[in-house]
Copies of this chain bind each other. A is one copy, B any other.
Amino acid sequence: MMNRSEPKGTFSRPERTETDASVAAGLNNEALDSILLFTLRRTQAVIMQDFVSRFDALDLRPIQLGALLLIRSNPGSRQSDIAAALGIQRPNFVTMMDELDRRGLTQRTTSNNDRRSYSLGLTPQGEALVNKALQLLAEHEAFVSSGLDPNERRQLFDNLNRIESGLASGGR
């Protein structure tokens, strides 16, 4: 173990928290635990698991709920805009919209100003589904944050957002 007193050029280690898998096999994974990317990945994995199991009842994957929420908050948006906000490619969003349309949750209205693009919107069924989803979402967020007090949760979002805005699009 390292010195407690912050040696220069060294990063503070996270608290010792072994991965399940490594604990099971008795592996030393200290090296991985101190890498932010890997810690984020593990945390995301367990959160994803809870999300997927909760939203299985509504047959909604995270990205689909993201699309519905964005369309609801930004009615009239174009596919390109929603895809960009979701961080996915336009071609891949087409397939997603095809399915949401097929399920009667969304509608593509041909725009008057620009006949190349669609105006996206939720159908009444889409609105109804999102309302159910918001309830599940609140329970999901409460569950995954149950180990954090409100201030710690705020700190977490703040730290994540600071990292993102510090690195975003600028490159290095």
A residues lining the B interface (CB < 8 Å): 6, 9, 11-15, 17, 19-22, 24-25, 27-32, 34-51, 53, 62, 66, 69-70, 72-74, 77, 80-82, 84-87, 137-138, 141-148, 150-169, 171-172
List 10 tightest A-B contacts by C-beta distance, closest first.
Answer: A14-B157, A25-B81, A17-B161, A21-B84, A147-B166, A46-B167, A22-B85, A31-B69, A147-B162, A43-B160
24 pairs from A and B in contact (CB 8 Å cutoff): A11-B153, A12-B151, A17-B164, A19-B87, A20-B168, A27-B74, A27-B77, A27-B82, A27-B85, A29-B85, A34-B141, A36-B144, A36-B156, A37-B48, A40-B160, A41-B44, A41-B87, A42-B164, A44-B44, A49-B171, A53-B171, A143-B172, A148-B159, A156-B156
Whether A87 pairs with B157 at a CB distance below 8 angstroms is no
* CA of A98 to CA of B157, assembled, Å: 39
